[in-house]
Amino acid sequence: MINALRRNYPGPGGMFVLSFICHLVVFLVIAYWHILPQFHEDETPVTYVDMVTLPVASPQSGTPAPSQQESKAPAAPAPAPPAPAAPAMALPTKPAAKAPTAKAKAEQQKEAAEAKAFNERMAKMEQQAEDRRQAAALDALKKKGSSRTGMPGGKGTQAGSDYSSYLQSRLKDALKETMAMQAKAPQVMATITVSPDGYIDYHVEKPSGDPLFDDAVRRAVTLAGKTLVPPPNGAYFKRVFRFRPEGVGIK
């Protein structure tokens, strides 16, 4: 008798589906518009701090990177034109960095004369071993990093993405050290190339017009290039980077 009075009301199941769809929409909106605060989008800083302190990060012997950098320095003339002011007088620019380079060169020549062939072979072997060690360490680190960040290995097209975010974090740290500006919103676009032996080179695509900031970027790249792990798999790395002060100059 009582059952006859019961009616067939719809259950809440349909509404659960509706609610789920709503959540999905909200989630997509948040994800798409980056509403959540972001911290260095793709990297966990902890991971890369590890990377920097790795022993392999030290510049390897036999790579042309340091000597090239050093030999470049004296070529850049110190801009000290004689001022027309009466009490002022330009000093002869001292080739400060020349001495150690010359010494190194002399040493190299001596060594070469003594046991050139042997040294070469040794250096080659050492470098090969070093390369292998480095690649292995980098791979291990990448695995560690990716498991920690929860990335499922990344897509095939993003093979260099770990390295670019590594380089980004290094450049960021360096720019923090060298930051200086005069203009309101300076911005420098530069193509940065890292050769397989870890030598960094850069080409300014678009200068900021503020000499202070242009120099800051130049210093940052040099600073970051001093202790750089070479790109993985012996490949050249090339990307465009945009340098700018935080929070300003976003058109």
Task: Please name the residues in contact with 199: beta carbons below 8 A apart, sequence gap of 6 or more.
Answer: 63, 64, 65, 68, 69, 225
Rule CB under 8 A: say whether 107 interacts with other proteins: no
Nearest to 232, CA basis, from 136, 149, 147 = 136
- State the minimum distance, in angstroms, from the CB of residue 163 to other proteins: 11
User: Can you tell me whether residue 161 is helix, strand or coil?
Assistant: helix
Nearest to 225, CA basis, from 175, 180, 188 = 175
Find the binding residues for other proteins in span 113-142 (CB under 8 A). none
Between 75 and 117, whose beta carbon lies closer to other proteins? 75
* Residue among 63, 127, 161, 193 that touches other proteins (CB under 8 A): 161
Rule CB under 8 A: say whether 172 interacts with other proteins: yes
Please identify, among the stretches 58-66, 124-132, 136-144, 147-155, the one whose residues bind other proteins according to the rule CB under 8 A: 147-155
Please identify, among the stretches 56-64, 102-110, 227-235, 237-245, the one whose residues bind other proteins according to the rule CB under 8 A: 237-245
Largest CA distance in the chain: 118
Partnered with residue 171 across adjacent β-strands are none
* Residue among 23, 132, 143, 203 that touches other proteins (CB under 8 A): 23
Residue 181's φ and ψ, nearest 5 degrees, are -155, 160
Rule CB under 8 A: say whether 71 interacts with other proteins: no
Nearest to 228, CA basis, from 56, 97, 6, 31 = 56
Please identify, among the stretches 84-92, 102-110, 114-122, 126-134, the one whose residues bind other proteins according to the rule CB under 8 A: 84-92
* Residue among 25, 29, 83, 125 that touches other proteins (CB under 8 A): 83
